[in-house]
Amino acid sequence: MAIRLEIPTALRQFAGKQASVEFNATTVGEALQQLTGTYADLRKHLYTEDGRIRSFVNIYLNDEDIRYLQKENTPTKDGDTISIVPSIAGGAKI
Amino acid sequence: MLIVNSDIAQSIRGYGARDYPNETCGAMLGCDGAEGREVRALFPLTNRRDDSPRNRFSITAEDFRAAERAAREQGLELVGWYHSHPDHPARPSEYDREHAWPWYSYVIVSVASGEACDMTSWQLSDDRSAFQTEEIAWAIPPGTIKR
């Protein structure tokens, strides 16, 4: 089943400058693994060294944050869109 | 190179002073051109860090999407982010680096005792290891040259 994965502008340089890519996947996690398997340079921006999605990386299935679904185990269906949406954070304190 | 006109720069300084002693934050909308990256508009956002707004800022995914929509509606791109460092130099902290994304321009304005002073811009290296200085070219606002 074809799932569209939308890449934020900041990461397109690591995904062949594409705004979106398509994969066949049955869960959100599987689609993300395929994405980072195909475009390995994306991995360090999306995952921590121990393999968890970084806290400031938000994954949406259509318009739902997967944290409120079944996280990476959220099932996907043909025609779904997964979006990678950054949170932005920072501050003066070290 | 980041091209910032004096109206935009004044606005960022103004937001920094207005929100002192808390950190201000917002999105920069613009476009990449042959001369560099030009900031054409700002999209001020609410600092969502209620617990430590004096030395932290946070922009949620929902706010990110709103900024992206605003850029699209104006035919622009979301090219970066600005925030203030109250009573702290306009240099990125380790926390800034850990939470940064590549490609974007990160403008920091230092606000000392309520008065905005230095403004700098930075970009994260592709391997996430460090911030690199991005030169700012100060420009005059469009439409101010009389022909």
Residue A45: closest CA among B64, B98, B113? B98
**Per-residue model confidence (pLDDT) at position A1:** 73
**Per-residue model confidence (pLDDT) at position B145:** 60
Residue B38: closest CA among B66, B11, B77? B77
pLDDT digits (tens, 9 = 90+) for B55-93: 999 999 999 999 999 999 999 999 999 999 999 999 999
- Percent of chain A with pLDDT strictly greater than 90: 90
Residue B116: closest CA among B5, B21, B1, B7? B21
**Per-residue model confidence (pLDDT) at position B96:** 92
Q: Check if B74 contacts A (Cβ < 8 Å).
A: no
Residue B135: closest CA among B124, B125, B122, B126? B122
Query: Mean pLDDT in chain A?
Result: 94
Look at phi and psi of residue B108 and say left if phi exceeds 0, alpha if psi is from -120 to 50, else beta: beta
In chain B, residues with a C-beta closer than 8 Å to the C-beta of A17 are: none
What domains can be seen in chain B, in order of their start residue? 2-139 (3.40.140.10)
Residue B71 in contact with residue B80, Cβ under 8 Å?
no
Torsion of CA B128, B129, B135, B141, to 10 degrees: 30
Give the residue ranges of DSSP H helices in chain B: 6-19, 61-73, 94-98
CA pair distance B90, B87, nearest whole angstrom: 9
In this complex, the residue of B77, B88, B101 whose CB is nearest that of residue A92 is: B88
**Per-residue model confidence (pLDDT) at position A37:** 96
pLDDT digits (tens, 9 = 90+) for A12-53: 999 999 999 999 999 999 999 999 999 999 999 999 999 999
What domains can be seen in chain A, in order of their start residue? 2-86 (3.10.20.30)
CA pair distance A86, B77, nearest whole angstrom: 15
Q: Check if B102 contacts A (Cβ < 8 Å).
A: yes
Q: Check if A19 contacts B (Cβ < 8 Å).
A: no
Please report the number of interchain residue pairs, chain A to chain B, with beta-carbon separation below 8 angstroms: 87
pLDDT digits (tens, 9 = 90+) for B98-147: 899 999 999 999 999 999 999 999 999 998 899 999 999 998 887 666 55
